[in-house]
A and B are shown apart, each in its own frame.
Chain A
Amino acid sequence: MSGNHPPVTDWATDFDHTDPVWAGDPYPIWDELRETCPVAHSDRYGGVWLPTRHEDVSAIAYDTDNFTSQSVVVTEGRPGIPAPQGIAPPISSDPPFHHEARRLLLPAFSPAAVDKLEPFTRDYCESLLDDLEGRDVVDAATDYAQHIPVRVIAQMLGFPPEDADQFRVFVHNTLESVDLPVEKRMENFLALNAYLNEQVADHIENPRDDLTSYLLQAQMDGEPLNTAHVQGSIALLLLAGIDTTWSAIGASLWHLARTPADRERLVAEPELLPVAMEELLRAYAPVTMARLVKEDHEFQGCPMKAGEWVLLSFPAANRDPEAFERADEVVIDREVNRHAAFGLGIHRCAGSNLARMELRVALEAWLDRYPEFSLPDADAVRWSGGQVRGPRVLPLRVA
């Protein structure tokens, strides 16, 4: 939504995921492309493809031979740290390196590990809501949703919770300001790196029971991780869970605010929330990933060139009527839901158990506090552009 690029005039041949029209409502764009295209191309960003059918998105997600994860954020530049490690392992890694780098992180995000974080998360959500007491209108994005994943990941990494505002700047710079020139992005990246250096130095001096100290002591194939690996994984853990989860919480509250029947049903049947949540994740999946084409080859009749990007739109796949009945509707009690909001294949979001817990607890706490809420001004809502889409301004009437 930063709008540093010229407006899009033709979505099939010149699309741009930072265009304000896309940020505001991408679904009609994807639906039309899926019916008429279905793989769009743009010369922007040095060449980028956009598959819109579930079948094509999943085929590319599974094809680690022809598509590398070396960078998963589409920008004007190309990544400096080559595969198989990439800049932020394991999300930026390819097999076989990927497998071991991912296994280092998975135990911290297993269902059992995540269960232990639930009481802390619930207490924190309650305290945020306590602070809003007495307000008639609250911004569900900036007063509530955005704080939850930041607080949880700061706790897991052992970073100072008072640095939360800085984390959100890093996230915005990395994931949302993707249409900035390479030099400006490098400047932002160096600021993030300097911050991580400080935190790592502090953990080397004062090791403690958190993920940062764990990564500093971790080994792969009997060797300590190289500095770029440690730093890259910490950057990933810090950045990947923040605006993604914030977006999922915000989009869910946006839907419930404008759909009283669904809100009332969830208040009356709280046990439906785990099912409803999956449908909200399907319909408003926040995260689009990316791949780089490894070698020139043809995909679905498209001449893909080495070094071109592919936007891997799990949100568009989730709206494909070939894969989902009533794909364009939110069916709050949808029982069969193989949605791909957390990706498919070996790069399935490593934090998906954590994200689901945060989303469920955030919605439970909110609905318990505010069984009635509404959207007083639909035009006041602002959505982020780029690869993570969610409401960044969301004023809701709660009393």
Chain B
Amino acid sequence: MRVAVDSEKCQGHNRCYALAPALFEFDEYGYASAVGDGTVPADQEANARLAVANCPEYAIRLEEDPS
């Protein structure tokens, strides 16, 4: 599973960072991006889904691994 932040949509609410600090980071202006290449460790999958579901701007994309 991977997460990615659409920088066109992110307005810096920082809900993702609050809910999944291992998966997201923010720049000096407070805009978010995924840590590294966005790969979600297995123990962070629930947090990743929470971050997606709580972004007021629908700015986070979740890519499930092909099963």
- Binary interface profile of A, 56-90, with partner B (CB < 8 Å = 1, else 0)? 00000000000000000000000000000000000
Give Cα distance in the complex from A372 to B45, angstroms: 37
Interface flag for B1 (CB, 8 Å)? no
Pair B11/A345 contact, Cβ less than 8 Å: yes
Pair B55/A353 contact, Cβ less than 8 Å: no
Pair A352/B13 contact, Cβ less than 8 Å: yes
Pair B54/A337 contact, Cβ less than 8 Å: yes
- Binary interface profile of A, 84-124, with partner B (CB < 8 Å = 1, else 0)? 00000000000000000001001101111000000000000
- Binary interface profile of A, 321-354, with partner B (CB < 8 Å = 1, else 0)? 0000000000000011111101011101000110
Pair A106/B30 contact, Cβ less than 8 Å: yes
Give Cα distance in the complex from A336 to B52, angstroms: 9
Interface flag for B56 (CB, 8 Å)? yes
* B interface residue count range (under 10 / 10 to 19 / 20 to 34 / 35 or more): 10 to 19
Pair B30/A353 contact, Cβ less than 8 Å: yes
Pair A344/B11 contact, Cβ less than 8 Å: yes
Interface residues of B in 10-66 (CB under 8 A from A): 11-15, 17-18, 26, 28-30, 50, 53-58
Given that A111-B17, A274-B18, A335-B53 are known contacts, is A346 also in contact with B29, CB under 8 Å in the complex? no
Pair A110/B26 contact, Cβ less than 8 Å: yes
Give Cα distance in the complex from A353 to B29, angstroms: 11
**What is the minimal beta-carbon distance from B26 to any residue of chain A, in angstroms?**
6
Give Cα distance in the complex from A260 to B15, angstroms: 28
Number of interface residues of A (CB under 8 A): 22
The main secondary structure of chain A at its interface with chain B is helix
Pair B56/A338 contact, Cβ less than 8 Å: yes
Pair B11/A109 contact, Cβ less than 8 Å: no
Pair A106/B29 contact, Cβ less than 8 Å: yes
Give Cα distance in the complex from A294 to B64, angstroms: 43
Pair A348/B53 contact, Cβ less than 8 Å: no
**What is the minimal beta-carbon distance from B10 to any residue of chain A, in angstroms?**
10
Chain B residues whose C-beta falls within 8 Å of the C-beta of A345 in the assembled complex: 11, 57
Pair B54/A348 contact, Cβ less than 8 Å: no
Pair B18/A109 contact, Cβ less than 8 Å: no
Chain B minimum-CB-distance residue to A336: B53
Interface residues of A in 174-205 (CB under 8 A from B): none
Partner-B contacts on A (CB < 8 A): 103, 106-107, 109-112, 274, 278, 335-340, 342, 344-346, 348, 352-353
A and B contact pairs by CB, cutoff 8 A, 14 listed? A107-B28, A110-B29, A112-B28, A278-B15, A338-B54, A338-B55, A340-B56, A342-B13, A342-B56, A344-B11, A344-B57, A348-B11, A348-B13, A352-B13
